[in-house]
Structure 1
Amino acid sequence: MKFLSFLAQYISNPRSVGAVLPSSSYLADKMIESIDFDNAKYILEYGPGTGVFTKKLLQHRNPKTVIVLFENNIEFYKVLEEKYKDVDNLYIYNESAEKVDWYLKKCGIPYVDYVISGLPFASLPKAVSHRILLKTSKILRKNGKFVTFQYTKAMKTFIEQFFSKVDVSIEIRNVPPAMVLCCSLEENLEGTYAI
């Protein structure tokens, strides 16, 4: 998707798009660096937008790994559907990540190894962010990871309510520079939600 199309989506949906520009390749590399691609069975991505992180996930994944994308913006969803229509073990839903548990049950996925998120939690309604983060903490397997990026430190404290460990790194080669949060719940157990 060209820059002007991305900008148009930002202007018409600033709360859900959250940025004027797509994420950089440098940020994408940092977002996926904690993933053990050889052993990951299930990876989710929230808010893939135009697919900058998705591209990296597909480049590195084991072909048997299932990847599920949740994109609430219909225009971005259409772009992703067209771009990845022939890719095996990739499921794309035009839906909010708030419904992640329902869709995992539908797909028969018992737990998740990694969740990569491009959602702008700082601009989403707090109740929506709360539901997404709570459900995410429940679907991750033991030592699974939730990785997100934000443009402000304000969300770190909020996210720490849901994860016992939050490691922070900065990627300055992004416009604007982004803070990457790699979150885990060390006490979590596989399959904590009912199938």
Structure 2
Amino acid sequence: MIDPPLRGHPAKADRSAIHWTFFRQWLKNPLAIAALSPSSRRLAREMVKQLPEHPGRVIELGGGTGVFTRALLERGVHPNNLLVVELNEELHRLLQQQFPEVHVVRGDARELQAIIEGEGFAEAGGVDAILSGLGLLSMSRGTQRRILTAAFSVLGPNGRFIQFTYGPASPVSRDLLTELGISVHRGGVAWRNVPPAAVYVFTRNRSTSIRAVRTHKR
């Protein structure tokens, strides 16, 4: 008798279907889907290594096929304390099917403040961390500004924004970080990811606060 796959880990046939779903969405909109295939579990491990020691509320932006979502749950983030935001309709539906106990919302990262208010996810003290699977490197400066402003408007005072990139340096320019009052450091590299990916951690400069900006639905 063959044991069933571990809870939360899709079987081989399911993984093939997930990869095909992801690739099909990439074909439809390669600028919105930043890679040809989902991120690896190696990269997911590098991402969750950058979480605070005892994370409370966590948000994931661009949930994709759920690789980071699964790693967050394995790291010990309670499903009730995890909000996953995915704009793509088919990937959003896939995430809902895989993680019925998690808050999975179809929405735009630029409207994050309105999303968490609508979900009742916000609370005093803010969110501890945001993991981003978004392709910041391929986005315009204006889009990056809106996403980071929205993210830091919901992060707590010591909150961190965790982002991976396939480029050789931070996906956000030094000028924009200075403008927003944000610092960055490299957290690690997933060399065996295809392609290799570096993880960066963004935090507030201690002397600077980022004003919450209410965004409007399009």
Structure 2-normalised TM-score? Answer: 0.78
Task: Give the aligned residue type for 1:173.
Answer: R
Cα offset, 1:8, TM superposition: 1.3
Distance 1:71 1:151 in 2: 20
Distance 1:194 1:160, change over 3 A: closer
Corresponding residue to 2:204 among 163, 185, 195:
185
**Is residue 141–residue 190 contact of structure 1 (8 Å, CA) maintained in 2?**
no
Distance 2:84 2:137 in 1: 21
CA contact (8 A) 1:114 1:146 kept: yes
Q: CA deviation at 1:62?
A: 4.4
Aligned residue number for residue 21 of structure 2 = 5
Write the mapping of 1:1-195 to structure 2, written as runs, cut at 5 A: 1-36=17-52, 38=54, 40-63=55-78, 66-85=81-100, 87=101, 90-106=102-118, 107-110=120-123, 111-152=126-167, 153=169, 155-157=171-173, 160-161=177-178, 162=180, 164-168=182-186, 169-187=188-206, 193=212
Aligned length: 191
Structure 2: tracts of 5 or more residues without a match: 1-16
**CA distance change for structure 1 residues 24 and 108 in 2, over 3 Å: closer, same or farther?**
closer
Code of the residue aligned with 2:190 in structure 1: it is: E
SS at match of 1:122: helix
Summarize the Cα distance change of 1:69–1:188 in structure 2 as closer, same or farther, 3 Å threshold: farther
Structure 1 gap ranges (5+): none
Q: State the secondary structure of the residue aligned to 1:160.
A: helix
Write the letter of the residue equivalent to 2:184. V
Superposed CA RMSD in Å reads: 2.5
The answer as to whether partners of 2:149 and 2:212 remain within 8 angstroms in 1 is no
% identical equivalent positions: 26
Distance 1:29 1:163, change over 3 A: farther
Deviates more, 1:147-156 or 1:90-99: 147-156
Structure 1 length normalisation: TM-score? 0.87
Q: Do the aligned partners of 1:144 and 1:184 also contact (CA within 8 Å) in 2?
A: yes
